[in-house]
Amino acid sequence: MIGVILAGGEGVRFSPGGCCKPLLQINGRSLIEHTLTHLASFGMNRALIVVGKYGPILRAALGDRRCGVSLEYVAQPRPLGLMNALYLVAAGTGDEDVALCLGDEFFLAPDVSVLTRLAQADFLCGYTVPEEREQILENYALLCDENNTVLRTVEKPAAPFNEKKGTGMCFFRGGCMADLRGFYAEDQGAGSDLCDFINRLVSVGRRGEAVRIAEREVNINDPRKLELAALLAQEAGV
């Protein structure tokens, strides 16, 4: 399995002038270093980092290896969304399974045991259970059946379906990446975000399972969320 970290954003929601969010500091370590540590705990030793405007800064800060993970950089010339980013890295992943991470999410205590579920599914959608259901509206909602099979996802829903807050940490079998290479090459207007990709996989018969991925997740979209992530990291000693 190979890790893929999407780090091509310009951080304009976090700061009007923009910033490289993956390099924001959380308890003495950059956000992307926390992510790489999680990937290593899942058994990965190689990751592709999709970069945009801040690519040279990230490369200079991280080099070719960090946190026990070998790093390669893939340029996304224009910010055309998640599916475009995954399509750009698909050639480098081949038939390997992929662990997807977003460059602006912080996770507390990821559950590495969830990977065993990939043997019974084509992909896994990681979720957390927030203290308040309204927090689901910041990410995406997962509609599942009684077996946690993913039926549909909704980006920033008007109201939550359940207690599941979808996250950007997801796992895809190699066949899902082959599907992406096929349908995105045919129709680059097929969608742009993670929900579009997941819903497309469901529509072609791929089985996805929702798995509780971590104790907490924080989407670092403003300075208050960065403060929250730093507090959680400090309390947990990570």
Q: What is the pLDDT of residues 89-133, one digit of tens each?
A: 987 888 899 999 999 999 999 999 999 999 999 999 999 999 899
Q: In the prediction, which pLDDT does 190 show?
A: 64
- The pair of structure tokens assigned to 130 is 């927030």
CA–CA gap between residue 229 and residue 20 (Å, rounded): 16
Containing domain of residue 126, as a range? 2-236
pLDDT greater than 70 at residue 189: no
CATH code for position 230 = 3.90.550.10
Q: Mean pLDDT over residues 141-145, rounded?
A: 97
Amino acid occupying residue 76: Q
State mean pLDDT over 11-22: 89
Q: How confident is the model at residue 1 (pLDDT cuts 50, 70, 90)?
A: very high
Residue 183 has pLDDT above 90, yes or no: no
- Residue 90 is predicted with a pLDDT of 85
pLDDT digits 0-9 by tens, 226-237: 999 999 999 999
Q: Could you give the number of structural domains in the chain?
A: 1
Provide the b/e sequence for 216-226 (b: ≥16 CB within 10 Å): bbbbbbeeebb
| Distances from the Cα of 151 to the Cα of 10, 38, 126, angstroms | 32, 27, 14
By CB neighbour count within 10 A (0-12 exposed, 13-18 middle, 19+ buried), where does 104 fall? buried
- The strand ranges marked E within 27-133 are 29-30, 46-51, 65-66, 69-75, 98-102, 105-110, 123-128
